[in-house]
Amino acid sequence: MRSRAVPTTFIYLFLALLALVFLYPVILMVLTAFKTTPEIFRNPFGLPEAFSWKGFQNVWERARFGLYLRNSVIITGASALLLLATAAPAAYALARYTFRLKTVLFVFFLAGIMIPIRLGILPLYLLMRDLGLLDSPFALILTYTASGMPMSVFLLSVFFRNLPRELEDAARIDGCSEGQTFVRIMLPLVRPGLATVVIVNVVPWWNDFFFPLLFLTTDRWKTIPLGMQVFFGQHLIDWSLVFSGMVLASLPLLVVYLIMSRQFIAGLTAGAVKG
């Protein structure tokens, strides 16, 4: 028993050290946000002398952070909902049905994973211009949904493929239609996969600077990365405001991960075991 306890103790110590390495920059960023700029240069790695909320207040009021936060939540949330509404049925069809073009469609989605969407940026911009969607949230919502579709279909098809066929047979015997079987029986069983798809796609969408810069021209629909970049450029010497803005921009992603962390970890584990 003692010989087994010693390696286990070292494993936990190593994991704790690894967690500290990853968490230290985040903790340092949060502590720095409560300092004034002179204090940051005087004591960069220590605790704040007095926790000040002035930096957060200035960022919220002077940087129009509330507007950018609203825009990011609307665009990212709508993109995630539209992605789940389209990728889940497509993955279910590819995983559970047999039809003539199944292999062609699967290869099509795989090609979408291998080819970066930025290679088609000029035709995409011209398409949004012709549709009259420039400087509107729909340009970003459609672009994000299309960019996340290939990987999401591929991931969800793995989860659907590993569900037993007996569930569908039992649902049909009970009188469920194909749509009811999908919504009521199969979809709840792949919640870890859905959470994985949401987190994997929401993080790069939330932090994206390229597409908002391309499609948005006014402040009306600017997202946090684009809006805060302008603000940081104006107040680059005021590091207290910069770190306060970074903390505020990171909080929504932290909340999303905490809400979906259990399903996300279960999805990663299921994929590792079943794949």
pLDDT one-digit tens code per residue, 8-33: 888 888 888 988 888 888 888 888 88
Distance CA 247, CA 182 (A): 40
Q: What share of the chain is helix, strand, coil (3-state, %, to 5)?
A: 80, 0, 20
Q: Rg of the chain over CA atoms, in angstroms?
A: 23
Share above pLDDT 90 across residues of the chain, in percent, rounded to a whole number: 26
Structural domain boundaries enclosing 106: 67-274
> Residue 137's pLDDT band (boundaries 50, 70, 90)?
very high
Average pLDDT over residues 149-164: 89
- Tell me what pLDDT residue 210 has: 92
Per the domain annotation, does 114 fall within a domain?
yes
Share above pLDDT 70 across residues of the chain, in percent, rounded to a whole number: 91
110: left (phi over 0), alpha (psi -120 to 50) or beta: alpha
∠ CA 266-159-182, rounded to 5° = 115
Is the model's pTM score more than 0.85? no
Per the domain annotation, does 154 fall within a domain?
yes
Kindly state the tokens that stand for 64.
């129009």
Residue 149 CA to chain centroid, in angstroms? 13
Distance CA 174, CA 52 (A): 62
32: left (phi over 0), alpha (psi -120 to 50) or beta: alpha
> Residue 235's pLDDT band (boundaries 50, 70, 90)?
low
Per the domain annotation, does 2 fall within a domain?
no
Closest CA to 32 of 265, 256, 179, 243: 243
CATH number of the domain at 141, please.
1.10.3720.10
Per the domain annotation, does 101 fall within a domain?
yes
Q: Kindly report the average pLDDT of the chain as a whole number.
A: 84
Distance CA 11, CA 65 (A): 42
Kindly state the tokens that stand for 22.
């990853």
Compare 112 and 215 and report the one with higher pLDDT. 215
Average pLDDT over residues 227-248: 77
- Tell me what pLDDT residue 168 has: 82
pLDDT > 80? residue 265: no
pLDDT > 60? residue 191: yes
Would you list the DSSP string of 56-83?
A: HHHHHHHS-HHHHHHHHHHHHHHHHHHH
**Cα distance between the two ends of the chain:** 34
- Tell me what pLDDT residue 275 has: 41
pLDDT > 80? residue 233: no
- Tell me what pLDDT residue 129 has: 92
pLDDT > 60? residue 180: yes
Per the domain annotation, does 15 fall within a domain?
no
The position carrying tokens 């073009």 is 101
- Tell me what pLDDT residue 1 has: 47
Cβ(202)–Cβ(76) below 8 Å: yes
DSSP class of residue 100 equals: T
The position carrying tokens 């194909």 is 178
Compare 165 and 85 and report the one with higher pLDDT. 85
> Residue 271's pLDDT band (boundaries 50, 70, 90)?
very low
Per the domain annotation, does 234 fall within a domain?
yes
pLDDT > 60? residue 139: yes
- Number of domains observed in the structure of the chain: 1
Per the domain annotation, does 10 fall within a domain?
no
Per the domain annotation, does 13 fall within a domain?
no
Compare 230 and 106 and report the one with higher pLDDT. 106
The position carrying tokens 């399903």 is 263
